[in-house]
Amino acid sequence: MRRVAAAALAAATLVGVVAFAQPLAAAELVARGVYRWDEPLPGFGGFSGLVMAGDGLSLIAASDAGDLFRARLSRDAEGRIRRIETTWTGRFLDNFGKPVEGFTADAEALAAGADGTVFVAFESYARIAGFRPPDMMPEPQNRWDRFKRFWGNEGFEALAITPEGQLVAVLERATGKPPGYQTFLGRDGRWQAGPVLPAGGGFAAVGADFGPDGRFYLLERRVNLLARFSTRIRRFDYAQGAFGAAQTLMTSAPGALGNMEAISLWTDAAGQVVVSLVSDDNFLPLQETTVVEFALKE
C-alpha cells in the first residue's frame, strides 16, 4: 500500500508540474510518469548523469561520489516505468588507476558515444574522460590542467555529443551581461571555447542532451530561499556547431519536482520522443531519487 500511495502522490505531483509548464505553440511536454527509485545498494543515490538506452529499457547513471550504475527497466503498456533494477555498479578510476575519491570523484554529467564509450564530465578536478565499462580506467579527453581555472564546485555540469560526434561541455554558472553559459567543444583531446548560450531567471545549467530531432536540450535548476527547486527545460536549434534561439518547453513551480540534475532523450517503439530526468538526492534522507518522464508533443 505504501508503494501504491507513493505512486499516486508522484502522479499528482507530475500533473501539477505539467500544469505549470510553458508550452510553445509548436511543442509541449506531456506528463508520462514518475518513478521513485530506491535500492539498498552501497553508494546508491547522488545521481547527476543519465543516459537512457534508445529503447528505454536500460540506463546508466553516474553519482557525485564517483560510481557508475547500470540498470534495466520494465514498463507497463503505456510506457510508464514499473521497476528499475540495478544490474552492475563500478567505481571510476583516476589517471593512476586508483578509485576516485574526494577531489577526483565528482562525476556530474554523462554522454554515450556511438561506439559505446561513456564520456564523463567531472567537477572539482574539472576534466572530461572516456570509459569503456566494465573497464573503469579513464581515457583522458584533455590535458590534466586544461580546465584548471574551473577547478572547484561550479565547473562542468552538462555534457552532450553533437550529431557530428563532437563533445559539448557546459559550465554550471552563467556569467557576463547579458548572462550566458560558456560551452566548450572537444574532439580527440582538443578543446576550444564554443558558443555562449543565453541564460537568465536565476537558473544554472545541470544537464544536456541532443534529441532525435538534432536539437540541443538544456536542463536548468533554480533554488529559492526555502531550498525548493524549480526545473526548466529549453531547447536550441543546432546546425554544424551553431546554436539557434532558445525555446522554453517547461518551467516547474518551486517544489513541484526534486533536484533534477540530468536529462536524456530517446524514442519509444511507437516513435514517440521521451524526455527522461533523474534527481540528485544529495545522499540526504529527506530527498529522493526520482525518474520523471515527459512525452514531447510537436
Separation of alpha carbons 231 and 16, rounded Å: 13
Strand partners, 67: 91
pLDDT, tens digit, 9 for 90 and up, residues 4-19: 334 433 444 454 454 3
Question: Rounded mean pLDDT of 201-222?
Answer: 97
At residue 19, φ and ψ (nearest 5 deg) are: -65, -30
pLDDT band at 55 (very low <50, low <70, confident <90, very high): very high
DSSP string, 134-171: TEEEEEESS-TTTTGGG-BSSSEEEEEE-TTS-EEEEE
Q: Which residue has the cell 532525435?
A: 212
Domain ranges of the chain: 2-297
pLDDT at 171 over 50: yes
Domain covering 2-297 assigned CATH 2.115.10 in the classification = yes
Tens digits of residue pLDDT in 130-142? 999 999 999 999 9
**CA–CA distance, 214 with 5 (Å, rounded to integer):** 38
Largest CA distance in the chain: 54
Mean pLDDT of 173-199: 95
Rounded to whole angstroms, how far apart are CA atoms 122 and 124?
A: 7
Q: Which three cell numbers stand for residue 244?
A: 539557434
d(CA 97, CA 72): 28
Burial class from Cβ neighbours inside 10 Å (0-12, 13-18, 19+) for residue 265 reads buried
